Amino acid sequence: MIKLIRIDDRLVHGQVAFTWVPSLGVDYIIVANDKVAKDDFLKMTMGLAKPPTTKLLILTVENAQVFLNDQKSRNLKILLLVTGVGDAYALATSIPEIKSINFGGIRIRDGARLISKAVAVSDEDIAVIRKMVETGIELEIRQVPTDKKLMVKDLI
């Protein structure tokens, strides 16, 4: 069961390991990212950043779709991490279980503007966000579980 899908371009880091993992009670962190799945150094650093009692799977977005749609994954408590809106959309449209997406951190980059203190989106991201909102997916911003939810649709 996916407890949370989070967009965070830093993926596995202290905020995830020490606030989200215990708050959600997850036993698996799944990183769905094509670049990281092919980079042994990045995989190693993420393995060092995760809590010792939590398992880490790093998959391509396509392999994550297959894994998460498999009945065997239903008994796992999963925190699913992606780096961007596009990957979150790809997963949300192929995994019916995803009804809510947390925006945790997307750094400022060319063509993007801040909609909160830690989330920057481009026009392309906004178009995808609007598609997700139209399908009824809740899109919320929270850095940590105790923060008040800010609804993305109200900020774009």
Given this model, what pLDDT does residue 66 score? 96
Phi/psi region, residue 136 (left: phi>0; alpha: psi -120 to 50; beta: rest), is: left
Q: Kindly report, residue by residue over 12-46, the tens digit of the pLDDT.
A: 999 999 999 999 999 999 999 999 999 999 999 99
Given this model, what pLDDT does residue 26 score? 97
Q: Is the pTM of this model over 0.85?
A: yes
CB atoms within 10 A of CB 98: 20
Q: Is 13 in the active site?
A: yes
Q: Kindly report, residue by residue over 83-138, the tens digit of the pLDDT.
A: 999 999 999 999 999 999 999 999 999 999 999 999 999 999 999 999 999 999 99
For domain 2-154, the CATH architecture is 3-Layer(aba) Sandwich (3.40)
Does residue 107 contact residue 69 with C-beta atoms inside 8 Å?
Answer: no
Q: What residues are paired with 122 via a beta bridge?
A: 112
Q: Among candidates 114, 135, 111, 121, which has minimal Cα distance to 86?
A: 121
For residue 7, name the pLDDT band (cuts at 50, 70, 90): very high
User: Catalytic pick from 7, 8, 12, 13?
Assistant: 13
